[in-house]
Structure 1
Amino acid sequence: MPSNVTPPRGMRDFLPADKRRRERVLSVVRDVYRAHGFDEIETPVVESSEYLFSGLGGDNEKQVFAVLRRGLDDEALRAASSALELADLGLRFDLTVPLARFYASHRAELPTVFRSVQIAPVWRAEKPQKGRYRQFVQCDIDILGEAGQLAEIELISATTAVLAALGLDGTTIRVNDRRVLLGVLSHWGVPAELHDRALLEIDKLDKIGVEGVAAQLVSIGVEAPGIADQLAQLGDATWDSATASPPPAWLDQGAFGDLLALRAALPEARLVFDPTLVRGMGYYTGTIFEVAHPDFSYSLGGGGRYDGMIGRFLGTDVPAAGFSLGFERIVDLVELDDADDDGLVVLYDKAVAPVELLALQKALVSRGEARVRLQKRAKNVGGQLDALAAAGFRRFVAVRGGEAPDDLEVRSLG
């Protein structure tokens, strides 16, 4: 027997108290999104390699857990020039690619404008570290079929409501637009074929700083003079500076006008214009956004418009936008009241017959108890009661045999 039996690196077990806490947070998220008109769906944990490696997932495509084709023989294994040639499936690395495939599969059964919720685990084969796991839960809402700005307004409004319901005060939402970023690259004279790579480097500003990004841009062939200074100026831009006269040369006025309209429609959301915001996924086409909190350097969620993705699956363009909450980061910040997490323990003596205990449990459940546990009385009753309270139970009854349900005295564990 191994002396150290643990889950695979980057994956976790959850004890009952942890699982209850996670489910309470998920229940709040589900209830708020449902109240805002979103319907929950479910997709398989694996998708076709054709979809997962379609070029839409950015660097995340490099982190797919691939699934080998069934029935491979030794000859096929030797003939393969790479491991990916042997895979026909992979674990999903996000919920957006599966949603696009889902919509292409079921479009005829869905409304013209479809508002979806997906809450499920995803997998990425990256280096595990604090706050970063190989298996983690994402909470996504998406609106498909709405070309107007109403989609972004609904997404940000619903997500803001979730954050408020979870008690996460002080959050802001950083917003930008891919058209603003492409205007920056054009202003710098970056060739179109380098745009995607350049945006991936700019997305690292918060990790490696202005000088680091400037060096990376030069290394891929971006030759704009004074690029470090220009990056710094880009990071200093605000709503006011972006509306100054004359406006910055890199600013796409149409895109910025849309962002101003978004701010006007959502005064409670505390939107902050951030022209350095990129979001690394290659499928974004317009507005992008991230949830920021003053106490943390990392975002608590993000999303944007990705009008081109579903057309890759369906052959017909469908407007789309989505917002994903970083559940694993949020769940550690949330403090929810446990008052509703109630339960009743039947603390019984050894002499009580199992058939009597089972009948008692059924009677208690049928009269409305949501959670009834049968537990034999321990020698250290005080310690036992403390452990039951920590497990979420709030009341108990002592059974010595022969009692009717209505005769039991219910006592508090608090």
Structure 2
Amino acid sequence: MATVNPPRGMRDILPADKTRRERVLSVIRERYRSHGFDEIETPALEEYSRLHAGIGGDNEKLAYNVLRRGLDSEAIRDAAADPAALADLGLRYDLTVPLARFYASNRGQLPGVFRSIQIAPVWRAERPQKGRYRQFVQCDIDIIGDDSARAEAELMVASLDVLDALGLDGATVRINDRRALDWMLESFGFTLEERPGVLITIDKLDKIGSDGVAAELRERGAAASAVDAFESFLNRPQTMEYNPFGERQIRKALPENAPDEIVAHLVGIGDAVAAGTGRTDIPLVFDPFLVRGMGYYTGTIMELAHPSVGYSLGGGGRYDGMIGRFLGQQVAAVGFSLGFERLVDLVSAETDAAAEAIVLIHDADVPVAELVAHKARLIAGGARVRLERRTKNLKALLERSASDGYTAFATIAAGNPDLELKPLS
């Protein structure tokens, strides 16, 4: 017998949870639109060749592929060793690859600098665990066609504004630049071929510490002199003084003689974010070891942090090379993605104070016409209304209604036009 449970790693969303999710989504949409971003929509399916073009990083290994139509058993056996011969489509595993294809296809109808919002489900064949699903919602904003620090600043200001609007004020953004990482690894002596593996290990710094990173780099067979130089840098004496985001903080966190161009770019982003948020303290923290896993990042990389949790609530970066894969010409692009599932868990389940939510409880003998008339009158006044037949366990009925977001109730008696509203709490 088929199970009644949803597929492993996927969820049914109950009414109260759906209400909260939609409220969070409405805030995200409203705030992003106020910052000049326009919402687009792309198909859930993309061509197999595009999803596996080497621009999606490790996510490509997690793609759900769709079997070609019309293949008989013999054709399937013949093509078993070649996934591209078995599948011609796949479910999108992120929203960035579809956006790159969208822009390449529709650029003639878009402004020179295009600011997009994409909010949609994506699918990855993850190993399910707490907080990690195989279907989940991504909330992305991207700016295409702007190679200046203004683009990064706009993304961060808008995303910090979203968190403030959701009641999660006090957020900060950890920031780094892939060019700074490359320069730093080169200065330590890591070869170009070693660096992708070195970055994977550095990304574990907050989990295994400096000793663990150095040990793993040696296990990987990285150049001993480079590992020694890197380990010496990690364990260098440092003062405990606090430095706000700016040139001093950035240069102190990097080896000596960091490229002026990269430092100036990061400082410019900080100045713009400070102006955009109106905060006296710049809500950015420079982290020279922030890596983020996507190999397509070419410049600035960012992660959204909040003091209430130890994990990031979003992130992104500049990916100037991706769209050129479809157009054959370089196009500047930078994006930021909110961790919607994590945000929903942090936001309190508030009800809409602008409209009452009322449960009308009635006996079986109340004429249907009277029930509908009562309901229609309350709806016309702006309320949300549900009809419920009285049960023996009235307390359980009221508790369930309250959990569904209803705030008041009234009982209906046959022939009585008056209703007495009582709070559910």
Deviations along 1:15-74, whole A, 9 cap, x unmatched?
A: 211111222222221111111111111111121112211111211111111111111122
Structure 1 position 159 matched with structure 2 position 131: no
In structure 2, the residue matched to 1:305 is: 318
Aligned-residue offset at 1:250: 6.9
Structure 1 residues 119 and 235, CA gap change in structure 2 (3 angstroms)? farther
Counterpart CA distance in 2 for 1:232 and 1:390 is: 56
Residues 288-303 of structure 1 aligned to structure 2 (within 5 Å): 288-303=301-316
Q: Structure 1 residue aligned with 2:260, among 246, 253, 261?
A: 253
Counterpart CA distance in 1 for 2:164 and 2:85 is: 47
Structure 1 residues 320 and 289, CA gap change in structure 2 (3 angstroms)? same
The amino acid across from 1:319 in the alignment is A
The amino acid across from 2:265 in the alignment is D
Structure 1 residues 38 and 235, CA gap change in structure 2 (3 angstroms)? farther
Q: Identity, % of aligned pairs? A: 56
1:166, 1:336 within 8 Å by CA — same for their partners in 2?
no
Aligned-residue offset at 1:160: 0.9
User: For 2:225, what is the secondary structure of its paired residue?
Assistant: coil
1:179, 1:252 within 8 Å by CA — same for their partners in 2?
no
Q: Output the aligned Cα RMSD.
A: 2.6
Aligned-residue offset at 1:248: 2.2
Structure 1 position 396 matched with structure 2 position 403: no
The amino acid across from 1:14 in the alignment is I
2:68, 2:89 within 8 Å by CA — same for their partners in 1?
yes
Structure 1 position 192 matched with structure 2 position 201: no
Counterpart CA distance in 1 for 2:109 and 2:416 is: 55
Q: Structure 2 residue aligned with 1:328, among 341, 344, 349?
A: 341
In structure 1, the residue matched to 2:112 is: 112
Residues 261-272 of structure 1 aligned to structure 2 (within 5 Å): 261-267=268-274, 268=279, 269-272=282-285
Counterpart CA distance in 2 for 1:102 and 1:285 is: 20
Counterpart CA distance in 2 for 1:273 and 1:302 is: 14
Structure 2 spans left out of the alignment, 5+ residues: none
Structure 1 residues 108 and 295, CA gap change in structure 2 (3 angstroms)? same
Aligned-residue offset at 1:187: 1.6
Counterpart CA distance in 2 for 1:7 and 1:176 is: 40
Counterpart CA distance in 2 for 1:68 and 1:231 is: 49
Structure 1 position 411 matched with structure 2 position 419: no
Counterpart CA distance in 1 for 2:258 and 2:386 is: 63
Counterpart CA distance in 2 for 1:228 and 1:210 is: 12
1:235, 1:274 within 8 Å by CA — same for their partners in 2?
no
1:128, 1:134 within 8 Å by CA — same for their partners in 2?
yes
Residues 330-369 of structure 1 aligned to structure 2 (within 5 Å): 330-335=343-348, 337-340=350-353, 342-365=356-379, 367-369=380-382
2:95, 2:118 within 8 Å by CA — same for their partners in 1?
yes
Structure 1 spans left out of the alignment, 5+ residues: none
1:113, 1:143 within 8 Å by CA — same for their partners in 2?
yes
The amino acid across from 2:393 in the alignment is N
More off after superposition, 89-98 vs 295-304 = 295-304
Structure 1 residues 380 and 241, CA gap change in structure 2 (3 angstroms)? closer
User: For 2:360, what is the secondary structure of its paired residue?
Assistant: strand
The amino acid across from 2:68 in the alignment is R
Deviations along 1:184-231, whole A, 9 cap, x unmatched?
A: 222233333443343233223334443444454445553142616615
Aligned-residue offset at 1:392: 1.1
2:143, 2:333 within 8 Å by CA — same for their partners in 1?
yes
In structure 2, the residue matched to 1:70 is: 69
1:303, 1:321 within 8 Å by CA — same for their partners in 2?
yes
Q: How many residues align?
A: 409
More off after superposition, 395-404 vs 275-284 = 395-404
Structure 1 residues 230 and 152, CA gap change in structure 2 (3 angstroms)? same
Q: Structure 1 residue aligned with 2:296, among 250, 274, 283?
A: 283
1:210, 1:232 within 8 Å by CA — same for their partners in 2?
no
Aligned-residue offset at 1:159: 0.7
The amino acid across from 2:319 in the alignment is Y
User: For 1:13, what is the secondary structure of its paired residue?
Assistant: coil
Structure 1 residues 242 and 27, CA gap change in structure 2 (3 angstroms)? closer
In structure 2, the residue matched to 1:61 is: 60
TM-score normalized by the length of structure 2: 0.88
Structure 1 position 98 matched with structure 2 position 109: no
Structure 1 residues 68 and 194, CA gap change in structure 2 (3 angstroms)? farther
Aligned-residue offset at 1:398: 2.3
User: For 2:406, what is the secondary structure of its paired residue?
Assistant: coil
Deviations along 1:92-121, whole A, 9 cap, x unmatched?
A: 111111111111121112111111111111
